[in-house]
Amino acid sequence: MIRDQHKHDALIHDVRSFVREVAIPNETRVERDDAIPDEIVATMRELGLFGWSIPEEYGGSGLTTEELALANMELSQCSVAYRVRVGANTGVGSESLIQDGTEEQKRHYLPKLASGEMTGALGLTEPDAGSDATNLQSSGERIEGGHYLLNGHKRYITLAPIANLVTLFVRTESGANKADNISAFLVERNSPGLSFSASTPKMGQEGGPIGEIWMKNLRVHESAIVGGKPGMGFRTVMKALNKQRINLAALSTGPAIRLLDEAIAYARTRKQFGSAIGGFQLVQAMLAECKVEIEATRALILATARKRDRGEDVTMDVSLCKYMATEMCGRVADRVVQIFGGQGYVKERGIERMYRDVRAFRIYEGTSQIHLLNIAKQLLRREPGQAT
């Protein structure tokens, strides 16, 4: 749902200008320094990028799912690092709080996340809990005075090296159902007992660091549990991820659009055998295949976003979006490297960087395999004849 077309067009215009005039010209610098320069973060804060998904009453712009999807498709047409920098605040780093936080927790944290004063992160994954996210080994033991002692180890946490507010998921009780005794705690970076690694070296997405988090006898009051009630953490994170999967699908479509634009420009100018390579039908087929897949994905994402805005159940649709967009982006990146030939493989033009950056999309927030399983599970629950 677009609430006000005029306002929305102005937002998209501002994001497009930021991407073209600030973000793209600084991509090599971001990759080299493995960080977004402070002055660019300041510009992103001024543009309100950190508050897109946060309700207006808490200082954000309260974008609808459709508005957010369109804005994300625009913002992600530059190096992935930029949208990673704001993406925790407009996604996994705030969504648990938006979904299930108490009024006091929302009033305390959401305005700081919306302005970018605080950077959020979500700490779910552990060495023994990846796709099987309910297999958490981190524990929260209830002690005197309404406190918990948290112990455990998280890994691959986006922005852990710089985040100052982490939503940490730990097991607070033992029980038969592994999903029922997980609690989400809001913990600030400087808390005694909480420590962070430096940036974990990885394949791509330089400037969007990930890292490890250790809890060693981290003492936290029960008022820091999201929603104030223990045992609800897994339900909370699933609700947050449900929305985030539409965001991620949109954020995987922007890079494909950018890659196709780059490929078209190159195909027009690069000459072999006396003519532009864009004149060769085998190259044309690669361009056309990219376009078909981008438009089909875009249509699915926007239809799903509108459905969610209407309050309909999108449990299966979000998996369709996440799977389709991330796999599509991988195929587009591969074709575009091919269209650029050697220029796609060497560092000069940044095509190889985009190819490496987008590879992670198929792994995080549910691997492709997990989403296929989810789609099949939902289908098999339906009555015959209800597949579509």
Active site residues: 365
Radius of gyration of the chain from Cα atoms? 21
| Contact by Cβ (8 Å): 159, 84 | yes
* Residue partners of 32: CB distance under 8 A and separation at least 6: 206
Binding site for ligand FAD (CB under 6 A): 92, 122-125, 130-131, 156-158, 210, 360, 363-365, 367, 369-370, 373
**Residue 17 or 135 with smaller CB distance to ligand FAD:** 135
Q: Please report how close the Cβ of residue 324 comes to ligand FAD at its closest, in angstroms.
A: 16
Compute the distance between CA of residue 334 and CA of residue 339 in angstroms, rounded to an integer.
Answer: 9
* Residue partners of 345: CB distance under 8 A and separation at least 6: 337, 351, 352
**Residue 123 or 207 with smaller CB distance to ligand FAD:** 123
Compute the distance between CA of residue 189 and CA of residue 96 in angstroms, rounded to an integer.
Answer: 18
Q: Please report how close the Cβ of residue 306 comes to ligand FAD at its closest, in angstroms.
A: 27
**Residue 93 or 278 with smaller CB distance to ligand FAD:** 93
Q: Is 67 helix (H, G, I), strand (E, B) or coil?
A: helix
Q: Please report how close the Cβ of residue 219 comes to ligand FAD at its closest, in angstroms.
A: 22
- The residue whose Cβ lies closest to ligand FAD is 130
Compute the distance between CA of residue 349 and CA of residue 372 in angstroms, rounded to an integer.
Answer: 34
Compute the distance between CA of residue 129 and CA of residue 296 in angstroms, rounded to an integer.
Answer: 33
Q: Please report how close the Cβ of residue 131 comes to ligand FAD at its closest, in angstroms.
A: 3
**Residue 77 or 158 with smaller CB distance to ligand FAD:** 158
| Parallel, antiparallel or unpaired: strands 139-143 and 182-188 | unpaired
